[in-house]
Amino acid sequence: MTELKGATAAAGSPAAAVAPSSSRSVRPGRLRRPGRQATELIVLLGPALVLFAVFVLLPICIAAYYGMFNWTGYGPLSDFTGVHNYKLVLQDPVFRSSLLHNLIIAVLSLLIQLPISIAIALLLNRKMRGGSFLRMAVFAPYVVSQATTAVLWLLLLQPDGFVDQLLKAVGLGGLVQQWLANPTSVLYTMFVVLTWQFIGFGVILLLAGLQGIPAELREAAAIDGASSWQTTRRITLPLLGPTIRIWIFLSMIGSLQVFDLVWIMTLGGPANASSTMVTYMIFFGFHSLEFGYGSAAAVILFVISFVLAFLYQRFVLRRDTDGALTRAVG
């Protein structure tokens, strides 16, 4: 936190220099009526601050406290167990495999979704008939809720259903299996559905990034005799770096909180083969009425997500962004 603040303060000065006139205009008012500004600030900032403190900050504090009790949700918190619940969660092999599943999804996203998104974005960035329709088609799955997507794919993946018949029709019948009941492949089925839903998000993001690259650069390279592949490889992709790094950040946060799709399609099963950290928390904390245990799990998830997001923010994104958290203020 202190590091964050330090970085903020450092970035504060150039920002102030950008808008000197605005600060001049403010000061006389404040000097004339010191009480007025305080009242205005309370009116403006107060409501958001209260809402944020009560519904974002307070819950995690409550969870950290509940996590220290053995508690089923009824009666007083009397059975104090200290860090016992926290230890149990961290030692539970099911929790560890759930965390591993989240990491597998994150890594696969990077290795598979990212290259596909880049390829589609490069394709869509060309002039072609029906380009705007194509963009909308690619983006459509992203706007449908994950819950609806889950039910949609439950229907498609029914035994001998659409997917199975399609595979048989194109001669890939050997691949057909119990997509959601086979413990060794269920996680990958989930990943394919996640990819179907989220690829459009990456494409739109990368397309926007591509449009920020000056056309002259590519044209100059082409005039100098660079092939299309060379310009893409040496000019477009490096300039797309910042957008790619933001995509990775968003994808990472998304991978850590996968829930809806898995819960509706498999409840994390069979035999926890598709469980994620959040399905673990809901299954063992909420449904089993082990609220103290669930609270401990929530706090651990919070710490894991926060630390990963913060580190990435600090060490990877920092150099790219104007408005990054670690530099605050634009």
Partner 1 sequence: MTGVAAAVETTGRPAAPAAPAGRRSRRFRPTTPVSYLVALVIVAITLVPMLYVIVGGFRTTAQLNVAPTGLPHPWVWQNYKAILTSATFWQNLGNSALIAIVVTALAVGLGSMASFALARYHFPGREAWYLLFAVGLLFPANVASLPVYFLDKQIHLLDNWLGVALPEAAFSLPITIIILRPFMRAVPGELEDAAVVDGASRLTFFLKILIPLSRPAMLTVAVLAFVTSWNAYLLPLLIFTTPSHYTLPLGVATFQSTYSQDTASVFAFTALSMLPAIAFFVLAQRRIVGGLSGLAGSVKG
Residue 110: alpha-carbon gap to chain centroid? 12
**Shortest distance in whole angstroms from residue 181 CB to partner 1:** 15
**With respect to partner 1, which residue has the nearer C-beta, 191 or 201?**
201
Which of helix, strand or coil describes residue 74?
Answer: coil
CA distances from 128 to 134, 216, 233 (A): 10, 20, 22
* Segment interacting with partner 1, rule: CB under 8 A, options 79-87, 93-101, 172-180, 298-306: 298-306
* Segment interacting with partner 1, rule: CB under 8 A, options 77-85, 170-178, 180-188, 240-248: 240-248
* Segment interacting with partner 1, rule: CB under 8 A, options 83-91, 140-148, 172-180, 181-189: 140-148
Which of helix, strand or coil describes residue 203?
Answer: helix
**Shortest distance in whole angstroms from residue 239 CB to partner 1:** 5
What long-range pairs does 155-160 form, CB within 8 A, spacing at least 24?
157/189
Q: Does 223 bind partner 1 (CB under 8 A)?
A: no
**With respect to partner 1, which residue has the nearer C-beta, 86 or 249?**
249
Taking the C-alpha atoms of residue 273 and residue 98, their distance in angstroms, rounded to an integer, is 8
Structural tokens at position 315: 């060490």
**Shortest distance in whole angstroms from residue 290 CB to partner 1:** 11
* Segment interacting with partner 1, rule: CB under 8 A, options 83-91, 93-101, 149-157, 174-182: 149-157
80 strand-pairing partners = 69
Q: Does 118 bind partner 1 (CB under 8 A)?
A: no
Taking the C-alpha atoms of residue 267 and residue 242, their distance in angstroms, rounded to an integer, is 36
**Shortest distance in whole angstroms from residue 324 CB to partner 1:** 6
Give residues 76-115 in contact with partner 1 (rule: CB under 8 A).
none
Q: How far apart are the first and last CA of the chain?
A: 19
Of the residues 117, 251, 266, 275, which one makes contact with partner 1 according to CB under 8 A? 251
**Shortest distance in whole angstroms from residue 37 CB to partner 1:** 7
**Shortest distance in whole angstroms from residue 93 CB to partner 1:** 21
Of the residues 160, 171, 174, 224, which one makes contact with partner 1 according to CB under 8 A? 160
Structural tokens at position 57: 């900050």
CA nearest neighbour of 261 among 60, 140, 102? 102
* Segment interacting with partner 1, rule: CB under 8 A, options 36-44, 79-87, 90-98, 178-186: 36-44
CA nearest neighbour of 179 among 197, 153, 209, 145? 153
Q: Does 284 bind partner 1 (CB under 8 A)?
A: no
Q: Does 172 bind partner 1 (CB under 8 A)?
A: no
DSSP one-letter code for 113 = I
The torsion region of residue 270 among left (phi > 0), alpha (psi -120 to 50) and beta comes to beta
**Shortest distance in whole angstroms from residue 204 CB to partner 1:** 5
Structural tokens at position 271: 């035999």
Give residues 184-203 in contact with partner 1 (rule: CB under 8 A).
196, 198-201
**With respect to partner 1, which residue has the nearer C-beta, 180 or 256?**
256
Q: Does 302 bind partner 1 (CB under 8 A)?
A: yes
E strand or H helix at 270, and its extent? none
Of the residues 75, 76, 93, 130, which one makes contact with partner 1 according to CB under 8 A? 130
Structural tokens at position 270: 């069979």
